[in-house]
Amino acid sequence: MRLIGAIGAAVALTALAGCGGGHSSAARRPTASERAALQQAVYDFVVEKTRARNPVIVRMRVAAVRLEPPGASPYAEFARVDLSDPAAGYAYAILGYRHRRLSRWRVLDIGSAAVGCELGRSVFGSHGPAVRRALGLACP
């Protein structure tokens, strides 16, 4: 997990995400409760694991990809949160929502380039390409 300070690449990726490049209609805005939970999960992770101290959430979206059959992925939903921090630059986080006794959103990857691309079948099940498209991830 990394919060890369490569400003050139980060600005290019953020500009692409901001103007809709790579953004699919298979994503939706989070509900009010999802928004609060996503925000808390990202801020907790960023403060604990990165150098960023003043992150601002620029955009959030949840993949509207139906994950079937049950058990294909340990996560029921996936989301992308775009961030900006004056000290650390631009980045985005990929989160998964796990259904368990204590269900919650969890940060799976964070950075400014190739985020989510290394997450495999153990995370996405067989739905990796659809989830990546829905979240606008630019994976090779």
- pLDDT tens string 91-114: 999 999 987 777 889 999 998 888
40: in domain? yes
Q: Does 13 reside within a domain?
A: yes
**pLDDT tens per residue across span 118-140:** 998 888 888 888 899 999 988 87
- Residue 1 covered by a domain: no
pLDDT value for 54: 82
> DSSP letter string over 77-139?
EEEEEEEEETTTEEEEEEEEEE-STT-EEEEEEEESSSTTTT--HHHHGGGHHHHHHHTT---
Question: Is residue 31 predicted with pLDDT exceeding 60?
Answer: yes
What's the pLDDT score for residue 80? 96
Determine, yes or no, domain membership for 22: yes
Please report whether residue 84 resides in a domain. yes
Domain interval for residue 98: 7-134
For residue 139, tell me if it sits in a domain. no
Is the pLDDT score of 8 beyond 90?
A: no
* Distance, CA of 50 to CA of 33 (rounded, Å): 25
What pTM does this model have? 0.77
2 falls within a domain: no
Read off the pLDDT of residues 32-80 as tens digits, 9 standing for 90 and up: 999 999 999 999 998 888 877 788 999 999 998 877 665 577 888 999 9
Inside any domain, residue 140: no
Predicted confidence at residue 25, as pLDDT, reads: 54
Q: Is the pLDDT of residue 23 over 70?
A: no
Cis bond before residue 69 (omega within 30° of 0): yes
> At residue 18, does pLDDT exceed 50?
no
- Tell me what pLDDT residue 99 has: 75
Domain tally, the chain = 1
